[in-house]
Amino acid sequence: MTCYVTTPIYYANSLPHLGHLYTMIVADTIARSKRQRGIETFFLTGTDEHGINIERAAQRNNRTPKEQADYVVEYFKKMTSAFGLDTAHGGYDIFMRTTEPFHYEGVGEFWRRVAKAKTPKGNDALYQGHYEGWFCAACAAYKTEDEYAKSENPDEPPICLIHETKLDRVSEESYFFRLSDYDEALLSLYESRADFVRPEARRNEVKSFVAGGLQDLSVSRLRSSVSWGIPVPDDPQHTMYVWFDALTNYITAIGFGNEQQNRAIGFEKFWPALHLVGKDILRFHAVYWPAFLLAAGVEQPRAIVAHGMWVDPTGRKMSKTLGNTIELDVLNKYFPIDAIRYFCLREMVFGQDGRFGYESLIDRTNSDLASGLGNLSSRTLTMIQRYCEGRIPSRLISDEARLRAKRAGVETDEATVSKLLAQAREQFIKHFDDFSFNRALEEAWAIVSRVDKMISDARPWDLAKDQSQRQTLNAVLYRAAETLRWLAVLLYPMMPNATRQIYQQLGLPDEVSTIDPATLRWGDLPEGTQIGEIKPLFPRIDKARIMEEIKEQESGIGTQELEKRGGSAAVGEGATQSVPATTHSDAVPGVANFIDITDFAKVDLRVGEVKTAERIPKADKLLLITVDIGEEKPRQILAGIAQYYEPEKLIGRKIVVVANLKPRKLRGYESQGMLLAASVGDEGKPVIATFAEDVPNGARLK
Ligand code: MSP
């Protein structure tokens, strides 16, 4: 038996974010759990590198599309390594790239099969026609009337309701996939396999979408309009539709259509896959992909499992413009990987949207991990160290001692304790296999509380003073340690690092990653085992201090991390809490957010002249500058431009300053304003706004 689990392959037009990290964490958790149960598993992630959106991102960044993809891939790989999700850390097995030659070959084969196929209604699955309609480059999808909004100006194209970006008019020759002939076949697939699309609510959505009737799908673009893509076999004037190419990655990665790749991995061995996707791309996976597979005569995926979206703590969609995103650099710097994994799995009810904020991440880390699991582990081991000379004590207890303990409210009967644990394991696995990770974790934390209570009720520190209570003390500590071992095995797929540490601290030589939870037997923790060095699993996080640092850090990385589309940005105090004037080049002016002139007038923009500029010790992104804006005293401003500007070269420059921004302290310095700069390229390189003509200091911009 084998298992194949996939994440979506991510667009190579922008750098990874929390949404990407989340799907990878879920896929990684599933893959680890399968491996732990002895199932040979293959875990795929990667990048989707073709199409107009990548082509445009490349143009904006002055790169070729391949250079753009390489740049993003490098970043993705760094991210997966930093979060322990790459091969070296026991994570993914392949980082799939759709620019790989074996993929070209495999997709070619897949296309040919579809081109030869008849639909269930006896028509050609593929035909040539003319496409006329609207296309959203960001969705890489054609849009029907209910999926876009008309612009107020009739000469302007309509706007995608998801991305709020202008649609492209497409009117050209195209190959079509006869999707309209597949409705019955798809409905019977959903009917016959109740767990094909999960969770249930999503399955119902997909069913009603298909039942509402399907339109044929344009699956190519003329090479003259989209050149960055895979040519249609035997007709190189056409480029394959990027979703046709991208979805096929799931089979080409393991060897479909390429002998060498097949020998290295094995299509027959691993297919069908479990696809993990965000709910926003469910239609592509649960409707188009199964239909393509039906046409090509390839077996259907094992399941398509859709998760919800992360929103900010107030329920708003995360976006750079709103300044409410979660930065991966910040997560990585301030939080243990397992705390992030725990939060993602505990906080999101799978399939529904979840709220993600740094403050709640800190709260959960402190309460559930530092005070919960971490404290249970350290108090148990510390007492074994102190009262049992660092060796796992005997589990045996006489009837008399057991009854005495019971009268004191402490259950030490092995049959009772082990039965409870076995039941919890069963529930844990059931919820886990059902993708209800939050409920599985609740089960595990109910055990944590129970054992914590057992320890507190038994008061080992008192038992230790009375030699006649020795057996009870040993039994209580053994039960706590054995429960910890069980918890480590159950929780390993979710928290690989902390559970490994628990195993080591318990003194166990085995790799927790190889212990099948089903084989756990009460009492297998050997008496007399010398425990390892005790270290806190999750140090407490000082919320006030870390939140302050995160805010500072965000100001520092503001320009570097600002959206990679080349919009204008403010640099300096609160750079990521973008100013009202911030726009993306892709955003449609006036559609997303009109402001009126009185709103604009609230921003006091002034001409300033840089008087002094210097670096700040230990803040490699910030410069401390003073600027004359026509006031009595120059303003002091902190700007996140240190990586791009030599301080000396700034002196004497005329710049634009937001003069009425609330002062804020950063790194111990008060910042009394903000300077404006464009944010350029993928790095968000700041380019300071300036004047071509001479202007007096303090002149207002309006
Ligand atoms: N390239 C396509 C997928 C092709 S698969 C054959 C694509 N790429 S993507 O980079 O835009 O998105 C990848 C995944 O990130 C999607 O599953 C999407 O749901 C997920 N997320 C994007 N934003 C998210 C959140 N805010 N929260 C959770 N997941 C989110 O689509």
For residue 599, pLDDT beyond 90? no
Q: How far is Cα 686 from Cα 519, in angstroms, rounded to an integer?
A: 57
φ/ψ (deg, to 5) at 220: -155, 160
Say which range, 39-48, 158-167, 351-360, has the weakest mean pLDDT: 158-167
Is residue 572 pLDDT above 60, yes or no? no
Residue of 3, 34, 136, 307 marked catalytic: 136
Stretch 162-172: mean pLDDT, rounded? 86
Q: Which residues line ligand 1 (CB under 6 A)?
A: 8-11, 19-20, 22-23, 48, 246-247, 277-278, 280-281, 309-310, 318
**Between 568 and 649, residue with greater pLDDT:** 649
Q: Is 370 a residue whose pLDDT tops 50?
A: yes
Q: Would you call 611 a catalytic residue per the annotation?
A: no
pLDDT the model gives residue 198: 95
Residue 279 CA, closest ligand 1 atom number: 19
Catalytically annotated residue among 275, 320, 431, 654: 320
Q: pLDDT of 118-133, one tens digit each?
A: 999 999 999 999 998 8
Q: Which CATH architecture has domain 2-108+239-341?
A: 3-Layer(aba) Sandwich (3.40)
User: What pLDDT, on the 0 to 100 scale, is given for residue 360?
Assistant: 95
Comma-separated ranges of CATH 2.170.220.10 domains in the chain? 121-191+198-232
The mean predicted confidence, pLDDT, of the chain is: 90
Please give the C-alpha separations between residue 696 and each of 235, 571, 650, in angstroms, as whole numbers: 63, 22, 17
Residue 145's pLDDT is 82
**CATH 3.40.50.620 domain extents, the chain:** 2-108+239-341
Cα 241 from Cα 174, distance rounded (Å): 10
Ligand 1 centroid to 8 CA: how many Å?
Answer: 7
Under a CB-based contact definition with an 8 Å cutoff, are residues 152 and 211 in contact? no
Q: How far, in Å, is the centroid of ligand 1 from the Cα of 7?
A: 9
Q: How confident is the model at residue 582 (pLDDT cuts 50, 70, 90)?
A: very low
Active-site residue identified among 163, 279, 611, 685: 163
pLDDT at position 558 is: 40
CATH 2.40.50.140 fits 546-577+603-688, yes or no: yes
Q: Quote the percentage of the chain above a pLDDT of 90.
A: 71
Q: Mention the CATH class of domain 356-519.
A: mainly alpha
pLDDT of res. 660: 87
| pLDDT value for 581 | 26
Whether residue 593 is predicted with pLDDT greater than 50 in this model: the reply is no
CA dist 261 and 267 (Å) reads 9
Q: What pLDDT, on the 0 to 100 scale, is given for residue 683?
A: 66
For position 342, what pLDDT does the model report? 98
Q: Cα 684 to chain center, whole Å? A: 21
For residue 664, what pLDDT band results from cuts at 50, 70 and 90?
A: confident
Residue-wise pLDDT for 672-681, tens only, equals: 899 998 877 6
Share of the chain above pLDDT 70, in %: 93
Helix (H) or strand (E) holding 556: helix 543-561
CATH 2.170.220.10 fits 121-191+198-232, yes or no: yes
Q: Provide the pLDDT for residue 594.
A: 56
Question: What does the pLDDT look like over 182-220, one tens digit per residue?
Answer: 999 999 999 999 999 999 999 999 999 999 999 999 999
Protein residue with least CA distance to atom 6, ligand 1:
247
Mean per-residue pLDDT, 90-113: 98
List every span in the chain annotated with CATH 2.40.50.140: 546-577+603-688
Q: What pLDDT band is residue 648 in, cutting at 50, 70 and 90? A: confident
Backbone dihedral angles phi then psi of residue 306, each to the nearest 5 degrees: -105, 130
Element (DSSP H or E) covering residue 572: strand 568-572
Q: Is 130 a catalytic residue?
A: no
Active site residue 20: yes
The pLDDT tens digits for 603-633 are 889 999 998 888 887 777 888 999 999 888 8
pLDDT at 475 over 80: yes
Domain with CATH 1.10.730.10 in the chain: 356-519
Q: Ligand 1 mean position to 278 CA, how many Å?
A: 6
Residue 559's pLDDT band (boundaries 50, 70, 90)? very low
Residue type, 249: N
Tell me, in angstroms, the distance from the centre of ligand 1 to residue 379's CA. 42
Q: Which of 6, 9, 20 to probe ligand 1 with, by most ligand atoms within 8 A of CB?
A: 20
Task: Exactly one of 3, 139, 344, 388 is catalytic; name it.
Answer: 139
User: For the sheet containing 94-97, what is the strand order?
Assistant: 94-97, 40-48, 2-11, 274-278, 303-307, 197-198
pLDDT digits (tens, 9 = 90+) for 251-305: 999 999 999 999 999 999 999 999 999 999 999 999 999 999 999 999 999 999 9
What whole-number distance in Å separates Cα of residue 486 and Cα of residue 480?
10
> Does residue 661 surpass a pLDDT of 90?
no
Whether 27 shows a pLDDT value over 50: the answer reads yes
Residue 577 pLDDT exceeds 60: no
Give catalytic status of residue 320 as yes or no: yes
Least confident of 146-150, 331-335, 389-393: 146-150
137 pLDDT more than 90 = no
